[in-house]
Amino acid sequence: MSHHQPIRAFSARAKGSLRGTIRIPGDKSISHRALMFGGLAKGETIISGLLEGEDVLCTAAALQAMGAKIGRGEDGLWRCFGVGTGCLKEPEDVLDMGNSGTSTRLLAGLIAAHPIHAVMTGDRSLRKRPMKRIMDPLSRIGATFSSRDGGRLPMAIAGARDPKAITYELPVASAQVKSAVLLAGLNCPGETVVIEPRATRDHTERMLRHFGAQVRTETASDGRKHITLSGPQQLQGCAIDVPSDPSSAAFFIVAALLCPGSDLRMQNICLNPTRTGLIDTLLEMGADMTIENRRDAAGEPVGDLLVRGGGPLKGIRVPEERVPSMIDEFPVLAMAAACAEGETEMRGLGELRVKESDRLAVVADGLAACGADLETGEDWMIVRGKGRPPRGGAEIDTHLDHRIAMSFFVLGLVTSDPVVIDDSAPIRTSFPNFLDLMAELGVEVFQK
């Protein structure tokens, strides 16, 4: 069966253990930033391992519309010739950001500090997501915004003619808001400072340094982080090998752990400590995983992950301070929890309600339909595992959310009755070769 056409209503079974060596596609957060910084930097940037999903291609198209030269060579490498800080061109048409919240918020930061006018829109799901959180700080820099009610796309940005550096304390821990402010700061004279209540992903700071920018990170006496960037600054083109996405690897890690006898090696995984919450949590639950060949790539720590399956997982309480480092992994962690022995308690999950779908509700409804024992509240979930997979036998309405679709796909590998996923199109958008990699490891896909 071809996996290249979207499939409506399908389920999957593991033929046995999952065995092999795979390379998961490049990290989405790092791919977006590699293109953005390459599109802004002076000189040539060469990117290997770029995730070629629709979201990332929307980023490339938006930067091309603002004057960057970006293309993929026959060799599979992407090359960017950037415009230089302060030199973004005004796009002639609306920028379509597809489904990418990351891209929308970070590019809004770049545009806000350039004297240009731009309009951004996206697909139905992105048009529902809140953008007010970036409008507030970027307005203080001097940009003006008009948007639909509630700060939603389409959104028009008139960039500042005379951008001002600001000090901004994040009201909620958000890597995207932090990054938007720092990227605006590249073209603001003076010191742009972002103060974080608690640590979030630091891909932007690491990559800015890789491109030669001066960025300082200091921890104040009250424990809050101060990130300081002096502008204006030029970035210098460079080479980047994008490491594999730990959020995409999550589905394969959990699948291998749930299928007895699995022996899976995943190469070149990004091991940034702000992204490894799921790995830490599964190790605490008793997972058999080891990391080999640790090294550094484009400012990011990477390594190879070995996962052996079938050992019993035990329920734990996930520490709340770990939530930001694994917010996207809770749906698939909930699948592992449903197969584990005992209670897995997850709190501080409010952010899941404003992702591509209300992920907390969708996961809870789907697991309950599959026969799992759980309860949820406003921002928490407790799953009571019986030490074996729930029965399955449900059809999951994924609400066009790729992480929901892939999470229930993984659960369906080990339930006694099939778990039917309503649509494969969202999986193809975020992780184009997901079904092919699963097939390579011995998973069969059935159309309903």
pLDDT at 448 over 80: no
- Tens-place pLDDT, residues 79-95: 999 999 999 999 999 99
Beta bridge partners of 292: 304
User: What is the secondary structure of 325-344 as a DSSP string?
Assistant: GGGGGHHHHHHHHHHSEEEE
Of residues 1 and 197, more confidently modeled:
197
Q: 187 and 163 in contact (C-beta within 8 Å)?
A: yes
Helix H or strand E encompassing 425: helix 425-430
Cβ partners under 8 Å of residue 9, min gap 6: 395, 420, 421, 422, 423, 447, 448
pLDDT at 447 over 90: no
- Tens-place pLDDT, residues 102-132: 999 999 999 999 999 999 999 998 999 989 9
Q: Give domain limits for the chain.
A: 8-26+243-447, 28-241
Distance CA 298, CA 45 (A): 12
- Binning pLDDT at 50, 70 and 90, where does residue 395 land? very high
| Phi, psi of 361, rounded to the nearest 5 degrees | -65, -45
Task: For the full predicted model, state whether its pTM sits above 0.85.
Answer: no
Check if 328 is active-site: yes
Q: Which one from 245, 328, 401, 423 is the annotated catalytic residue?
A: 328
Q: 9 and 422 in contact (C-beta within 8 Å)?
A: yes
> Which of 151-160, 237-246, 323-332 is predicted with the least confidence, judged by mean pLDDT?
323-332
Tokens of 173: 């821990």
Query: What is the reported pLDDT for 2?
Result: 44
pLDDT at 4 over 60: no
- Tens-place pLDDT, residues 36-79: 999 999 999 999 999 988 889 999 999 999 999 999 999 999 99
Distance CA 192, CA 342 (A): 47
- Tens-place pLDDT, residues 210-250: 999 999 999 999 989 999 999 999 999 999 999 999 999 99
* Residue at token pair 């290249």: 4
For residues 282-298, give the mean pLDDT. Answer: 95
- Tens-place pLDDT, residues 13-43: 898 999 999 999 999 899 999 999 999 999 9
- Binning pLDDT at 50, 70 and 90, where does residue 264 land? very high
124 burial via Cβ count (<10 Å: 0-12, 13-18, 19+): exposed
Q: Choose among 363, 419, 311: nearest CA to 12.
A: 419
CA 152 → CA 65, 121, 139, 176, 401, distances in Å?
Answer: 22, 9, 16, 16, 19
Tokens of 51: 């995730």
Residue type, position 168, single letter: Y
Distance CA 181, CA 371 (A): 45
- Binning pLDDT at 50, 70 and 90, where does residue 5 land? low
Query: What is the reported pLDDT for 3?
Result: 47
Q: 141 and 186 in contact (C-beta within 8 Å)?
A: no
DSSP 299: T
Query: What is the reported pLDDT for 325?
Result: 81
Q: 40 and 66 in contact (C-beta within 8 Å)?
A: no
Query: What is the reported pLDDT for 279?
Result: 97
Say whether domain 8-26+243-447 belongs to CATH 3.65.10.10. Answer: yes
CA 71 → CA 68, 338, 365, distances in Å?
Answer: 10, 44, 43
According to DSSP, the β-strands at 95-96 and 117-121 are parallel
Share of the chain above pLDDT 70, in %: 98
Annotation: CATH topology of 28-241:
UDP-n-acetylglucosamine1-carboxyvinyl-transferase; Chain (3.65.10)
Tokens of 282: 């599964």
